[in-house]
């Protein structure tokens, strides 16, 4: 029976090393949630400061930028244990066998959601040294722990807001826009990107024991101890940007084809489906509502009607 005990030990050790009761991003990325948030905020900080440095004449407008990050970090782990055994009873003209099997599959899931609100001042107050020490490249296995492309988003947003002239001039690695920053309704007062990443890891091992039958009695002749593991991580960051300006106010479905209502950026417009700290500026509020509208538009089951 020593062989059986050794077989069971191999399978059990594999299963235990793959087990997490409370699936978290750090189980597979080695990076805690707080570090993920800090790295993304540093990326946003660098992008905004670069934009201000490249276009000093727009510092007044850019210093009023509002940024919202809505995080959803999901981890699902499934472990299966599938043992089987074979018994044979020799007969005069053949043999009679019995295959016995069992199965145990366990699954655990955790979805961690939260929303962070930033503005120019909060980004400026971040520790520059700590941001400089953060990894700057992309991570192809778990992209959320690396650069997720916020710099490009900020540059594009500024370009969209430069309604006076959308033709860029390329100077080195920085895109310069000729026009003055136009934050009226003709420009783009808000912009939202939904960035999603999915990574699935799987593995398994099936130790097998085979014994040669001896004699005429019913006897144990073999066993399989199959163990499998799957870990799926879905990471999503919805990033909303806003500058001062007029915003199109959402209206009830009955008026969607007939009415466009404009309001200033600091007035509440629609019920929020995400929770965050109270916005400190009008642009933070606008960015928060832009992210909220993105969720309503793309993530809620349809039909869905919001009325006021």
Q: Which residues contact 181 (CB under 8 A, 6 or more apart)?
A: 55, 58, 61, 62, 158, 161, 162, 187, 243
Task: Find which of 3-12, 90-99, 196-205, 260-269 is predicted with most confidence, using mean pLDDT.
Answer: 196-205
Query: Model confidence at 262, in pLDDT bands (50, 70, 90)?
Result: very low
Residue with the larger pLDDT of the pair 34 and 250: 34
pLDDT, tens digit, 9 for 90 and up, residues 104-151: 999 999 999 999 999 999 999 999 999 999 888 999 999 999 999 998
Round to whole Å and give the CA distance between 155 and 175: 7
Of how many residues is the chain composed? 308
Q: Which of 172, 178, 198, 295 is nearest to 240 (CA)?
A: 295
**Range with lowest mean pLDDT among 95-109, 132-146, 260-274:** 260-274
Residues 167-176: what's their mean pLDDT? 48
Indicate the average pLDDT of the chain.
78
Round to whole Å and give the CA distance between 223 and 208: 6
| DSSP symbols for 137-205 | S--SSSGGGS--SHHHHHHHHHHHH-TT---EEEETTEEEE-S----STTS-SEEEEEEEEEEEEEEEE
- On the question of pLDDT at 35 being above 50, the answer is yes
- On the question of pLDDT at 68 being above 90, the answer is yes
Q: Are 202 and 229 in contact (CB under 8 A)?
A: yes
Q: Give all strands (DSSP E) within the chain, no chain letters.
A: 66-90, 95-101, 104-119, 168-171, 174-177, 190-205, 208-210, 219-242, 246-249, 261-264
- On the question of pLDDT at 298 being above 70, the answer is yes
- Looking at residue 138, its pLDDT comes to 94
Main-chain phi, psi angles of 206, to 5 degrees = -135, 85
Indicate the pTM of the whole model: 0.75
């Amino acid at each position: 029976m020593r062989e059986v005990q050794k077989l069971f030990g191999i399978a059990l050790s594999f299963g235990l090393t793959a087990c997490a009761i409370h699936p978290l991003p750090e189980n597979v990325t080695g990076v805690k949630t707080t570090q993920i948030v800090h790295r993304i905020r540093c990326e946003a900080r660098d992008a905004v400061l670069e934009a201000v440095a490249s276009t000093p004449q727009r510092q007044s407008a850019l210093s009023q930028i509002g940024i919202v990050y809505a995080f959803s970090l999901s981890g699902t782990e499934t472990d299966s244990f599938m043992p089987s055994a074979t018994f044979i009873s020799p007969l005069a003209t053949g043999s009679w066998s019995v295959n016995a099997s069992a199965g145990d599959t366990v699954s655990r899931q955790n979805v961690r959601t939260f929303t962070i609100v930033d503005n120019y001042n909060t980004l400026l107050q971040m520790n520059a040294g700590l941001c400089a020490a953060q990894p700057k490249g992309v991570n192809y296995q778990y992209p959320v722990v690396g650069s997720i492309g916020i710099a490009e988003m900020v540059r594009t947003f500024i370009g969209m807001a430069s309604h006076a002239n959308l033709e860029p001039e390329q100077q080195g690695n920085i895109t310069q826009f000729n026009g003055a920053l136009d934050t009226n309704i003709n420009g783009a007062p808000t912009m939202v990107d939904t960035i999603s990443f999915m990574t699935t890891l799987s593995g398994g091992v099936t130790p097998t024991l085979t014994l040669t039958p001896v004699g005429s009695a019913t006897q144990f002749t073999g066993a399989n101890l199959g163990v499998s593991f799957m870990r799926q991580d879905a990471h999503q960051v919805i990033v909303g940007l806003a500058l001062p300006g007029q915003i199109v106010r959402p209206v009830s479905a009955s008026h969607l084809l007939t009415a466009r209502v404009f309001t200033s950026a600091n007035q509440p417009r629609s019920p929020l489906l995400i929770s965050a700290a109270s916005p400190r500026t009008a642009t933070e509020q606008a960015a928060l509502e832009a992210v909220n509208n993105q969720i309503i538009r793309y993530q809620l089951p349809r039909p869905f009607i919001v009325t006021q």
